[in-house]
């Protein structure tokens, strides 16, 4: 049996009929190269945003189950059209939803996690020589409900399938030719990173790099799958994400990421009944990705993209909290994380660019993070990129 190749095409790559037909050509080309081909597609263009908008026009608190039914339709449109396009080129193809593909998740609607993949139908169709097209971003819970995997989750579908099928490689296609050391739409001097370790990439994704979904990297790391981030338009460049590199291959410069918008709550700890609040947070599924229960104050931050009903849920908590909308800008990479020298350089650069100290600063083994006002997030990214990725201060830990 020939090797299996999993390709994933993002929303901009299938945004209209013309682009969808180009993707069909690429898929057919992979088949002609002798691979068994599985293709995962995202919803066309900004379909998912538009569907979210529609839901919000109806209610500020869309029920998550119904949101999943709605949003998963976006990827279904793409899979069916692409399958038609491939068949029109004379190749056999079949499209499957996430549940038909055997993607089983937990029951956390809108942000479900894949628990198991049983790709039996995919394997059967591959054995028949067909190209299999899968709707990304969705699965089925053990309660037999349709779930979605969180914004950007089609990447995770692709990597999870690659793992379950024992694929040779997983290629993630989008409108950029790889992973950059900052968002190229914000930082003009951003450069492509050729090699990245899973750990650094996962941290970048969790801290806001949207090119790859963090859960996808976690899967790739757990299954040892080499991930290629490439441009749909072709070209030589790409980023390879895998476990180990020879020291000379490793990208030594860190990357700059930005997570936004975050809803940041802060209130005196004495003001609340801690047990009740923690129970309520659990009940509403409000898992804060950054929370700090200090001696005097409690701070909780929620990434808006993960919580469709955030405002309503926060109101229900009935806290007398200061609420701010902020961005968290981070320097990610083992060279910067936890380094006192890097922290000193970064804080100074941010003070100079913003005219004030960052609103919050914290460090972790793989990063330095700064909470800044939304309006200053772009300037902050540019300042940090110049410092760490262009000028490159000596960042070896302990080397002063």
SS3 356: coil
Tell me which of 13, 36, 48, 239 binds ligand ASP, using CB under 6 A: 48
User: From the CB of 148, what's the least distance to ligand ASP, in Å?
Assistant: 8
Contact segment (CB under 6 A) with ligand ASP among 119-127, 148-156, 201-209, 242-250 equals 148-156
| Minimum distance from residue 265 beta carbon to ligand ASP (Å) | 25
Render the burial of 22-50: b for 16+ CB within 10 Å, e for the rest.
Answer: bbbebbbebbeeebbbbbbbbbbbebbee
Q: In what order do the strands lie in the sheet with 195-197?
A: 93-96, 131-135, 36-41, 4-9, 169-174, 227-231, 238-242, 195-197
| Separation CA 179–CA 271 (nearest Å) | 44
State yes or no: cis peptide before 52, omega within 30 of 0: no
The DSSP call for residue 85 is: H
- For the bound state, the minimum distance from the C-beta of residue 154 to ligand ASP, rounded and expressed in Å, comes to 3
Q: Which does 163 bind (CB under 5 to 8 A by kind): Mg ion, ligand ASP, none?
A: none
Residue 86 or 149 having the CB closest to Mg ion: 149
- Token couple for 93: 């193809």
Size of the site for ligand ASP (CB under 6 A): 12
Other beta carbons within 10 angstroms of residue 177's beta carbon come to 19
| Residue among 28, 30, 38, 43 that touches ligand ASP (CB under 6 A) | 43
- CA distance linking residue 71 with residue 64, whole number of Å: 10
Residue choice 98, 136, 178, 337 for contact with ligand ASP (CB under 6 A): 136
Residue 254 interacts with ligand ASP (CB under 6 A)? no
Minimum distance from CB of 241 to Mg ion (Å)?
14
CA distances from 300 to 34, 130, 286, 325, 377 (A): 51, 49, 10, 12, 19
Between 230 and 345, CB nearer to ligand ASP: 230
CB of 124 to ligand ASP, least distance (A): 26
Please choose, out of 151-159, 204-212, 254-262, 387-395, the segment that lies near ligand ASP by the rule CB under 6 A: 151-159
Residue 137 binds ligand ASP, judged by CB under 6 A: yes
Give the distance from CA 382 to its chain's centroid.
Answer: 22
Nearer to ligand ASP, 216 or 298 (CB): 216
Tell me how far, at minimum, the Cβ of 136 lies from ligand ASP, in Å.
6
CB 65 to ligand ASP: min, Å: 17
DSSP H/E element including 75: helix 64-88
**Interface with ligand ASP includes 11 (CB under 6 A)?**
yes
**b/e per residue, 194-223, with b = 16+ CB within 10 A?**
ebbbbbbbbbbbbbbbebbbbbbbbbbbee
| Interaction partner, residue 74 (Mg ion, ligand ASP, none; CB < 5-8 Å by kind) | ligand ASP
Cα 47 to Cα 64: distance, rounded to the nearest angstrom: 18
Nearest alpha-carbon partner for 264 in 232, 226, 302: 302
- 8 binds, options ligand ASP, Mg ion, none, Cβ within 5 to 8 A by partner type: none
Find all residues with CB under 8 Å of 46, minimum gap 6, and list them: 11
Pick from ligand ASP, Mg ion, none: which does 254 bind, CB < 5 to 8 A by kind? none
Q: Give residue for tokens 């338009």.
A: 233
Q: How far apart are CA 359 and CA 188, in angstroms?
A: 25
Shortest reach from residue 64's CB to ligand ASP, in Å? 15
Residues contacting 20, CB < 8 A, separation 6+: 14, 44, 78, 81, 82, 85
Picked from ligand ASP, Mg ion, none, the partner binding residue 257 (CB below 5 to 8 A depending on kind) is none
Options 21-29, 40-48, 57-65, 311-319: segment touching ligand ASP (CB under 6 A): 40-48
- Which of 119, 153, 208, 333 is the binder for ligand ASP (CB under 6 A)? 153
In angstroms, give the least distance from the CB of 192 to Mg ion. 17
Q: Is 308 in the site for ligand ASP (CB under 6 A)?
A: no
Q: Which residues bind ligand ASP (CB under 6 A)?
A: 10-11, 42-43, 48, 74, 136-137, 151-154
């Amino acid at each position: 049996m020939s090797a299996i190749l999993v390709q994933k095409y993002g929303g901009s790559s299938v945004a209209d009929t013309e682009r969808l037909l180009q993707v069909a050509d690429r898929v057919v080309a992979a088949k002609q190269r002798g691979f068994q081909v599985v293709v995962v597609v995202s919803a066309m263009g900004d379909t998912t945003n538009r569907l979210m908008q529609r839901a919000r026009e109806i209610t500020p608190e869309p029920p998550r189950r119904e949101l999943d039914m709605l949003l998963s339709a976006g990827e279904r449109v793409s899979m069916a059209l692409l399958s038609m396009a491939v068949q029109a080129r004379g190749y056999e193809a079949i499209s499957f939803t996430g549940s038909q593909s055997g993607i089983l998740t937990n029951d956390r609607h809108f942000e479900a996690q894949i628990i198991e993949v049983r790709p039996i139908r995919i394997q059967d169709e591959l054995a028949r020589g067909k190209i299999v097209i899968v709707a990304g971003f969705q699965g089925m819970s053990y309660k037999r409900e349709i779930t979605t995997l969180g914004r950007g989750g089609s990447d995770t579908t692709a990597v999870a399938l690659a793992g379950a099928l024992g694929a040779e490689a997983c290629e993630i296609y989008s409108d950029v030719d790889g992973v950059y050391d900052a968002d190229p739409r914000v930082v003009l001097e951003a450069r492509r990173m050729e090699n990245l370790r899973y750990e650094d990439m996962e941290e970048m994704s969790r801290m806001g790099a949207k090119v790859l979904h963090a859960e996808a990297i976690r899967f790739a790391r757990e299954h040892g799958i080499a991930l290629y981030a490439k441009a749909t338009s072709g070209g030589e460049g790409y980023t390879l994400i895998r476990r180990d590199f020879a020291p000379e291959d490793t990208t030594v410069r860190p990357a700059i990421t930005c997570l936004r918008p975050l809803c940041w709550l802060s209130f005196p700890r004495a003001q609340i009944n801690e047990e009740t609040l923690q129970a309520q947070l659990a009940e509403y599924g409000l898992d804060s990705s950054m929370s700090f229960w200090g001696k005097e104050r409690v701070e909780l931050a929620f990434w808006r993209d993960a919580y469709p009903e955030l405002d309503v849920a926060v109101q229900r908590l009935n806290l007398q909290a200061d609420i701010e909308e902020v961005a968290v800008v981070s320097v990610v990479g083992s060279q910067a994380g936890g380094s006192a020298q890097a922290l000193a350089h970064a804080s100074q650069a941010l003070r100079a660019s913003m005219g004030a100290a960052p609103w919050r600063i914290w460090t972790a083994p793989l990063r330095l993070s700064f909470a800044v006002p939304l309006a200053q997030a772009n300037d902050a990214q540019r300042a940090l990129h110049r410092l760490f990725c262009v000028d490159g201060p000596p960042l070896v830990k302990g080397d002063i």
